[in-house]
Chain A
């Protein structure tokens, strides 16, 4: 009996060792969901803020679709075939709203709780660890982003801007995008020292929102800017959403998915480890 188990025993410590090096014991108490519960409790009273956030991209879509729609008859879609301007801009706004919601929650809100409310100090006095906190906060940001995305997808459907059943996958894709932005946002927040540093977040998010093919196709930019744009995470998110809602789907999309999966994983681990080293000195 024991002999047959030996090989398994020998291989186990190596893999456990690797996981333990990235996630040391004590970092995770398995209670991340109670943070989501707390956020839900807090937002029960402020639900209108939550709902209010969903209207922003809808307003954008409405005004841009009506306005630009008059001047621009059609734009080249992902596969080169023309699509209406509203159908072009809507998936981009979907991606941008997933980004904005997640970044806002994971930066401003987290910084406040971390620096001023001392909320995480109180949590770390319980069996919870920094990874619970990182995962819990990111999960909340992601749920909120998902809620906005679902609402926005409904609006797109009602406006006839969805051209393919592939659009069903736009919701999980939006969740993944929100996850990645929340994780990276929270990791970045652990490096911030004061509210001034948050100007950097604006400095990163606003140009990304304006330039990542949100409102114009990549071809309008000069060559060097095109290269820069294709590096930004929002560009990858928009490519993903546009492909799915317009039904132009290819294996290449898995590249975008992998891009966000890596950002999400790295962001979460960095956020947890930084929280641990800052709060457990």
Chain B
């Protein structure tokens, strides 16, 4: 299997601060690969190194089989980048944003015009084509940034928190576009701190925290490995003493307002807890998610 990105012991320091502390990553052609981690985990720093706009401090990195240090421009010619913060050209219209970006890649004016029409369609922005960028909604700007990143028909697309700050409807629309890209064979690398996004989009992901990789696998594998099938959530009065329920579950996590009981059968555990005379103000049985994996690995919740 061919690897589009190969990192070994990759590190990035800013002055004395180590943002990325030796990570090993392999991204295969055609897959959607995720970096899941909280603020400051080092996701963007890693993405910028892969995008060849930030030099590495140590370790090895190969993108499309080339070394970013030597072949930056050649790599950048074949990848697409959606940065964490939109940096659209506000002095140009929606259409011009796409056309001029194609020119930066050395495409002919004719090619740029045709590509812009195609991408406007893809981003569902055809009716806004000749308007200013500034008044577009957050979701539309994000779609335009994604469309812009596709202007050079990239083999590899880097998406840094593609849906952060968008409402649920805008997020689903974006996910739909990303699915289509994946079906077209584009390899995706996505960073996110939303576990539902990681579960929805990623074939494989790494959980990143404090510049290190805590675990790696498919969402299903990670959940199997680090969590149980079901979780029983018990909510108590704030400040109330929480009972010791260790013996009813494989593992118990104590959060400020609730207990999480990891178990194969949530309803069964709930019945036993009730039998024992424990009266939570609320109880909920749900399937394990990546949030639970993260909690297990780091002892912290992903979104605080």
- What residues of chain A have their CB less than 8 Å away from a CB belonging to chain B? 25-26, 29, 31, 34, 37-38, 41-42, 117-119, 121-129, 279-281
Closest chain-B Cβ to A16's Cβ sits at a distance in Å of 15
B91 touches A37 (CB 8 A): no
What are 16 A-to-B residue pairs whose CB atoms are below 8 Å?
A26-B73, A34-B100, A38-B100, A117-B89, A117-B91, A122-B88, A125-B51, A125-B53, A126-B101, A126-B105, A127-B73, A127-B76, A127-B105, A128-B104, A280-B53, A281-B14
Partner of A38, one of B53, B70, B72, B89: B89
A122–B76 touching, CB < 8 Å: no
| A-B residue pairs, 4 tightest by C-beta | A118-B87, A126-B104, A127-B73, A125-B81
Chain B residues with CB below 8 A from A38, complex form: 89, 92, 100, 103
- The answer to whether A42 and B92 touch across the interface, beta carbons within 8 angstroms, is yes
Interface residues on B, range: 20 to 34
Cα–Cα distance between A125 and B105 once the two chains are bound (Å) = 10
A41 in contact with B96 (CB, 8 Å)? yes
Shortest beta-carbon distance from B80 to chain A in Å: 9
B72 touches A31 (CB 8 A): no
In the bound complex, CA of A122 to CA of B88 (Å): 8
Asked if B18 is an interface residue, CB under 8 A from chain A, the answer is no
Q: Which residue of B lies closest to A35 (CB)?
A: B104
Known pairs A26-B73, A121-B83; A41 contacts B14 (CB<8 A): no
Q: A31-B103, A117-B87, A281-B54 are in contact. List 18 more A-B contacts (CB 8 A).
A: A25-B70, A29-B73, A31-B106, A34-B103, A34-B104, A37-B103, A41-B100, A117-B91, A118-B85, A122-B83, A125-B76, A125-B81, A126-B101, A126-B152, A127-B74, A127-B77, A127-B105, A128-B73
Chain B's nearest CB lies how many Å from the CB of A160?
41
State in angstroms the CA–CA spacing of A171 and B112 once bound together. 35
Q: Complex Cα distance A126/B19, Å?
A: 25
| Contact of B55 with A by CB under 8 A | yes
Rounded to whole Å, the gap between the CB of B83 and the closest CB of chain A is 7
CB distance from A178 to the nearest CB of B (A): 22
B100 touches A127 (CB 8 A): no
Chain A residue nearest to B45 in the complex (CB) = A281
Is residue B214 contacting chain A, with contact meaning CB distance below 8 A?
no
Q: How far is the CB of B45 from chain A (nearest CB, A)?
A: 10
In B6-24, the 8 Å CB interface with A consists of 14
Q: How far is the CB of B104 from chain A (nearest CB, A)?
A: 4
Contact of B90 with A by CB under 8 A: yes
- A122–B87 alpha-carbon span in the complex (Å): 6
Residue of B nearest to A26 (CB): B72
Report the Cα distance A275→B208, complex, angstroms: 31
Contact B53 A279 (CB under 8 A): yes
Distance, CA A41 to CA B106, complexed state (A): 17
B85 to chain A, nearest CB (A): 7
Q: How far is the CA of A121 from the CA of B84 in the complex (A)?
A: 12
| Complex contact A122–B89 (CB within 8 A) | yes
Chain A residue with Cβ nearest B88: A122
Q: Contact between A31 and B104 (Cβ–Cβ < 8 Å)? A: yes
**Residues from chain B with Cβ under 8 Å of A34 in the complex:** 100, 103-104
Instruction: Collect the chain B residues with CB atoms within 8 Å of residue A41's CB.
Output: 92, 96, 100
Closest to B105 in A: A126
Residues of chain B within 8 A of A29, CB atoms compared: 73
Assuming the contacts A29-B73, A125-B53, A127-B73, asked whether A117 and B90 have C-beta atoms less than 8 A apart, the reply is yes
Task: Give min CB distance, B154 to chain A, whole Å.
Answer: 11
Q: Which residues of A contact B104 (CB under 8 A)?
A: 31, 34, 123, 126-128
| Measured CA separation A207–B87 after assembly (Å) | 37
In the complex formed, the residue of A with least CB distance to B70 is A25
A124-B53 in contact (CB<8A)? yes
Question: Chain B: which residue is nearest A129 at the CB level?
Answer: B73
Bound-state CA distance A122–B92 (Å) is 14
- Bound state CA distance, A41 and B164, in angstroms? 31
Residue ID in chain B nearest A123 by CB atoms: B104
A86 to B90, CA, bound (A): 43
Query: Within the assembled complex, what's the spacing in Å between the Cα atoms of A37 and B89?
Result: 14
In whole angstroms, what is the CA distance A118 to B73 when docked?
19
Q: Which residue from chain B places its CB closest to the CB of A43 in the assembled complex?
A: B91
Q: Complex Cα distance A34/B89, Å?
A: 14
In chain B, what residue has the closest Cβ to A132?
B104
Contact with A along B158-169 (1 / 0, CB 8 A): 000000000000
In the complex, what residues of A have CB within 8 A of residue B53's CB? 121, 124-125, 279-280
Contacts of B55 in A (CB 8 A): 280-281
Q: Chain A contacts of B87 at CB under 8 A?
A: 117-119, 121-122
Residues of B within 8 A of A126 (CB): 76-77, 101, 104-105, 152
Contacts of B88 in A (CB 8 A): 122
Nearest CB of chain B from residue A137's CB, rounded to whole Å: 14
On chain A, the residues within 8 Å of B14 by CB distance are: 281
Distance in Å: Cβ of A277 to nearest Cβ of chain B: 10
Measured in the bound complex, the distance between the Cα atoms of B104 and A123 in whole Å is 7
Shortest Cβ distance from B46 into chain A, in angstroms? 14
CA separation between A280 and B53, bound complex, in Å? 5
Q: How far is the CA of A121 from the CA of B105 in the complex (A)?
A: 14
**Contacts A31-B106, A125-B83, A128-B104 given: A119-B54 contact, CB under 8 Å?**
no
Cβ–Cβ < 8 Å partners of B92 in chain A: 38, 41-42
Interface centre among B14, B77, B100 (most CB of A within 10 A): B100
